[in-house]
Structure 1
Amino acid sequence: MEKSLIIVRDYRGAPLRRVAWRTESGLILVPSERACEATESGQLPAIGCPKTDVFAYDADIFDQMEKEWNQNKRVCNDLWTSAMPF
């Protein structure tokens, strides 16, 4: 898998900007941008996310999600629906 910038919906529903690193056991492993090197070298584990919580990166959509999360601690379903699945 080629590394790609993505949006991940975490367990609380928060949007996170991450890197799709590889797939393993049906999950997409998603280290943070800063942790990619440490993950590749085995110093840090990558978190695995189900494909249903991984979306193609769109800066405008991510900015809206992040703003909404910071204000309300939730992201409306319409924004998640507008994001393209990865």
Structure 2
Amino acid sequence: MDLCFITGGAISKNGISTATPEVASLGRSAIEISRKTICLAPHEKLGIDAFAKLSPITPIDLLITDEEATIEAIEEIESRGVKVIIAKVGETD
């Protein structure tokens, strides 16, 4: 695959993790065969760890999160060489 979009139950300096080993295995396989990996993660998922480790944070090329993410969580991920983009969440009518 050229491009892989992935998420997990938790994203921290320890990597991406999820609730089940089966989902973690599928995610690992997708990351391994992709040329570029983008992780989508709302602020609630940052700075925590879940049961099954999916991947270290370093294979992730880009993390997209929302503007409520803490500076500490963002800096921790960026210190591992991952580019972070903060997407502004629009208001709905």
TM-score grouping bracket, smaller chain normalisation: under 0.3
TM-score by length of 2: 0.25
Structure that is richer in strand per residue = 2
Structure that is richer in helix per residue = 1
TM-score by length of 1: 0.27
